[in-house]
């Protein structure tokens, strides 16, 4: 999986590409924790536009990120979801936990 992150003032953006699965967990955790520990991030957008596949471990990573972000007073938004990705998120009721665009 490809991960690109940017930080603009208090807004972080993480663009993911390819397969978002267990093999990505270490890199995803490192990138998100690094941004959250800066202390100045109040919102984070996870751009899923280039994600071709996600599995239950990806859902778990997003839930763990949500918990850590909440503790850091950071709002998480899932953006640019393709129809198949959105379907997986909706089956898991993520629309109740995240803002999804």
For 74, list phi and psi in degrees, rounded to 5.
-120, 130
Round to whole Å and give the CA distance between 57 and 75. Answer: 21
pLDDT of residue 38: 77
Domains of the chain: 2-100 (3.30.750.24)
* pLDDT per residue as tens, the chain (101 positions): 999 999 998 999 999 999 999 999 999 999 999 999 876 899 999 999 999 999 999 999 999 999 999 999 999 999 999 999 999 999 999 999 999 99
Tokens of 59: 């859902």
**pTM score:** 0.94
**Cβ pair 47, 13 in contact under 8 A:** yes
Per-residue pLDDT, 5: 96
Quote the pLDDT of residue 40: 87
């Amino acid at each position: 999986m490809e991960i690109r992150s940017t930080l603009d003032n208090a807004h972080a953006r993480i663009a993911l590409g390819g397969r978002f699965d267990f093999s990505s967990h270490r890199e995803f955790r490192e990138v998100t924790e690094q941004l959250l520990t800066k202390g100045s991030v109040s919102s984070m957008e996870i751009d899923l536009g280039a994600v071709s596949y996600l599995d239950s471990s990806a859902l778990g990573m997003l839930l763990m990120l949500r918990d850590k972000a909440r503790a850091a007073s950071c709002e998480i938004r899932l953006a640019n979801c393709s129809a198949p990705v959105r379907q997986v998120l909706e089956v898991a009721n993520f629309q109740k936990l995240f803002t999804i665009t």
